[in-house]
């Protein structure tokens, strides 16, 4: 029931936003929808935690497992905070004549469709429907990336559209190959459970080929190196809240879909095959992202590469298994929250300085102190500084790989340290030193700060205390993967 209610609400709000001519209605409707989404996502997570798999109508259309419930919860949280921020952010842009009412309206229509598509992708029990939903996320966000209608934004959106479409078609081909284990003429609608139950009928070589296609396909959406090329362009050109959602919501969803196929592949060919692929892509993502971050010139692109690096950490966690999986899931939650903090704070910087270039930002701590503190806290969290939770998750991921893959863990450790050094260099440049005279001191609006403050509080709480239901969900994920 909750699932249908969420989907219906999001689509109704998208339609309301499309037909109404009043700004306030669009804003209120979008906030209400995201609040409903948040409340019901908590209800779903609690239900899955207490009763196990949530599969209404006997797996016909929807099924939410433990990992799915965690993602639904993350979606609810980041969806609500980014919507609150979006309202004020777009008001500021309208005030500055950067956008008009039509653009604002378009933004909230697409935003709600994007939420609905992400929700359908993670809750769908059918792998093909999940694929259609992921494709729908590409289509709904393409115009959000080209939102400002500048040559660079159109270029970024074009790359995003083409690279992701090709990637998803590869993923679709891989998905179809997994279906060879089932007699489709009599099976009816295929779901994840049926696919897993029939995994032993899959030809091992075909399973390997299929998994490679799926990993490359959905890995493009995750942004794993070398399929990451669209990511810095799209993240840097999209409005700040959209960058936040791409990094904190869409990335984990695509990753979870890969994990579902990994579980099936592991049944057929054993865990070593997917483990080696995960280690290769994970490590490559950390190394390449760290090297590029060292010479970053644009702070939004820096955040995009940080997402690639953190995706690499999550992938390594699932490759190493056991404690690594526990840490990777926690890392995913922390990363989603902190990336929203960083992207939204970068939006404040952009509003103030009108530039995304690192070297154009000076003395931000004196000009927008709260935003600066939030960005610096975000930096400390995302680079894994104690006592924040990401320190422990990175430590656990690397230590879980130390026994079997010490070289991989050490290389990853070195490049994670490099990421910290790079970030620190930019933080010093941007936030400290003398403030420029031509920029007015003061924050833009309190509502451009509250979402980040709320998420920082959530991260700090989760760094020291895991609610029992979340603990149960994560433990179940560890058992499953």
Partner 1 sequence: MNLLTLQFLSQILLLSIVFLLIMKKNFSAVSAYSLQSLVVVIILLNSFFETKDMWMLLVILVMLIVKVILAPVFFIRLIRKYALAFSVSTYLSTPITLIIITILVFIAHSQKLIPLTRIVPDHQVLLSLALSSLFLSLFLIVNRKGALSQIIGILSFENSIVVFAVFANLEQSAALQLGIVFDIFIWIMIASVFISMLYKHFGTLNVSSMKNLKD
Q: State the DSSP code for 59.
A: T
| Touching partner 1, residues 293-322 (CB under 8 A) | 295-298, 301
Going from the C-alpha of 120 to that of each of 64, 130, 141, 181, the distances in angstroms are: 11, 7, 15, 25
Nearer to partner 1, 296 or 390 (CB): 296
Which of 180, 360, 445, 475 touches partner 1 (CB under 8 A)? 180
- Segment near partner 1 (CB under 8 A), from 29-37, 199-207, 373-381, 434-442? 199-207
How distant is the alpha carbon of residue 152 from its chain centre? 23
**Cα torsion angle, 217, 221, 224, 229, sign:** positive
Q: Does 425 bind partner 1 (CB under 8 A)?
A: no
Question: Cβ 176 to partner 1, closest distance in Å?
Answer: 5
Nearer to partner 1, 354 or 480 (CB): 354
- Segment near partner 1 (CB under 8 A), from 23-31, 163-171, 276-284, 310-318? 163-171
**Cα torsion angle, 286, 318, 473, 248, sign:** positive
Nearer to partner 1, 141 or 248 (CB): 141
Mention every residue, 6+ apart, whose C-beta is less than 8 A from residue 45. 69, 70, 72, 73, 469, 470, 473
Question: Cβ 228 to partner 1, closest distance in Å?
Answer: 12
Nearer to partner 1, 88 or 298 (CB): 298
The answer to whether the beta carbons of residues 444 and 20 sit under 8 Å apart is no
Question: Cβ 394 to partner 1, closest distance in Å?
Answer: 24
| Touching partner 1, residues 226-245 (CB under 8 A) | 232-233, 236-237
Tokens read off for 311 = 């995706």
Longest dimension (CA), the chain: 73
Phi-psi region of 270 (alpha: psi -120 to 50; beta: other; left: phi over 0): left
Round to whole Å and give the CA distance between 34 and 17: 14
Question: Cβ 473 to partner 1, closest distance in Å?
Answer: 29
Nearer to partner 1, 172 or 415 (CB): 172
H/E element, 401: helix 389-402
Instruction: List, as one string, the DSSP characters of 263-295.
Output: HHHHHHH-HHHHHHHHHHHHHHHHHHHHHHHHT
Nearer to partner 1, 250 or 327 (CB): 250
Q: Does 402 bind partner 1 (CB under 8 A)?
A: no
Question: Cβ 456 to partner 1, closest distance in Å?
Answer: 29
Helical packing angle, 389-402 and 323-353, nearest 10°:
140
Q: Does 189 bind partner 1 (CB under 8 A)?
A: yes
- Segment near partner 1 (CB under 8 A), from 67-75, 98-106, 291-299, 420-428? 291-299
Question: Cβ 305 to partner 1, closest distance in Å?
Answer: 8
Size of the site for partner 1 (CB under 8 A): 49
Round to whole Å and give the CA distance between 274 and 279: 8
Radius of gyration of the chain (CA): 21
Round to whole Å and give the CA distance between 209 and 311: 23
Round to whole Å and give the CA distance between 172 and 178: 10
How distant is the alpha carbon of residue 187 from its chain centre? 33
Round to whole Å and give the CA distance between 229 and 289: 11
Which of 11, 173, 432, 469 touches partner 1 (CB under 8 A)? 173
Question: Cβ 113 to partner 1, closest distance in Å?
Answer: 11
Q: Does 44 bind partner 1 (CB under 8 A)?
A: no
- Segment near partner 1 (CB under 8 A), from 35-43, 67-75, 85-93, 170-178? 170-178
Question: Cβ 188 to partner 1, closest distance in Å?
Answer: 7
Q: Does 339 bind partner 1 (CB under 8 A)?
A: no
Q: Does 254 bind partner 1 (CB under 8 A)?
A: no
Question: Cβ 441 to partner 1, closest distance in Å?
Answer: 32
In sequence order, the β-bridge partners of residue 54 are 64
Round to whole Å and give the CA distance between 224 and 328: 15
Residue with tokens 């280690």: 279
Length of the chain in terms of residues written: 481
From residue 61 to residue 80, the character string flagging contacts with partner 1 as x (rule: CB under 8 A) and all else as - is: --------------------
| Touching partner 1, residues 99-158 (CB under 8 A) | 126, 128-129, 132, 135-136, 139, 142-143, 146, 149-152, 154-158
Q: Does 203 bind partner 1 (CB under 8 A)?
A: yes
H/E element, 238: none
Nearer to partner 1, 96 or 297 (CB): 297
- The neighbour count for residue 283, using CB atoms within 10 Å, is 23
Residues making contact with partner 1 (CB under 8 A): 126, 128-129, 132, 135-136, 139, 142-143, 146, 149-152, 154-159, 161-162, 165-166, 169, 172-173, 176-177, 179-180, 184-185, 188-189, 203, 205-206, 209, 232-233, 236-237, 292, 295-298, 301
């Amino acid at each position: 029931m909750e699932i249908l209610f969420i989907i219906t609400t999001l689509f109704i709000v998208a339609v309301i936003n499309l037909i109404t001519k009043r700004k306030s209605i669009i804003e209120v409707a979008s906030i209400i929808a995201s609040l409903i989404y948040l409340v019901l996502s908590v209800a779903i997570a609690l239900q899955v935690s207490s009763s196990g798999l949530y599969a209404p109508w006997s797996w016909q259309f929807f099924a939410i497992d433990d990992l799915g419930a965690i993602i639904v919860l993350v979606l609810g949280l980041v969806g609500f905070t980014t919507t609150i921020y979006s309202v004020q952010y777009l008001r500021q842009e309208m005030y500055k004549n950067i956008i008009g009412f039509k653009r604002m309206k378009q933004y909230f229509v697409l935003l709600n469709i994007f939420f609905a598509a992400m929700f359908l992708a993670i809750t769908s029990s059918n792998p093909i429907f999940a694929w259609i939903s992921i494709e729908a996320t590409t289509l709904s966000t393409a115009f959000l990336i080209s939102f400002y209608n500048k040559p660079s934004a159109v270029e970024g959106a074009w790359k995003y559209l083409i690279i992701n479409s090709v990637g998803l078609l590869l993923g679709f081909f891989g998905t179809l190959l997994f279906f060879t284990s089932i007699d489709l003429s009599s099976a009816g609608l295929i779901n994840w459970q049926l696919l897993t139950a029939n995994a032993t009928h899959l030809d091992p070589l075909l399973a390997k080929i299929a998994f490679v296609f799926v990993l490359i396909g959905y890995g493009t959406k995750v942004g794993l190196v070398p399929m990451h090329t669209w990511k810095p362009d799209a993240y840097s050109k999209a409005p700040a809240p959209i960058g936040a959602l791409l990094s904190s919501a869409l990335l984990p969803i695509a990753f979870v879909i890969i994990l579902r196929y990994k579980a099936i592949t592991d049944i057929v060919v054993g865990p070593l095959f997917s483990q080696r692929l995960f280690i290769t892509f994970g490590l490559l993502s950390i190394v390449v992202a760290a090297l590029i971050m060292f010479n970053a010139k644009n702070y939004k692109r820096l955040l995009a590469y940080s997402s690639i690096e953190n995706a690499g950490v999550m992938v390594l966690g699932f490759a190493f298994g056991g404690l690594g999986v526990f840490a990777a899931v926690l890392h995913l939650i922390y990363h989603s929250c902190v990336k929203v903090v960083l992207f939204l704070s970068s939006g404040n910087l952009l509003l103030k300085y009108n530039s995304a270039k690192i070297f154009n930002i000076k003395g931000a701590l004196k000009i927008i102190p709260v935003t600066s503190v939030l960005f610096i806290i975000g930096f400390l969290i995302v680079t894994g500084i104690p006592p924040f939770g990401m320190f422990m998750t990175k430590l656990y991921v690397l230590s879980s790989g130390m026994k079997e893959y010490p070289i991989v863990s050490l290389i990853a450790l070195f490049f994670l340290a490099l990421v910290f050094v790079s970030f620190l260099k930019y933080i010093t440049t941007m936030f400290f030193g003398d403030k420029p005279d031509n920029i007015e001191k003061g924050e833009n609006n309190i509502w451009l700060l509250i979402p980040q403050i709320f998420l920082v509080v959530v991260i700090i709480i989760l760094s020291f205390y895991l609610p029992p239901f979340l603990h149960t969900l994560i433990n179940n994920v560890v058992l499953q993967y």
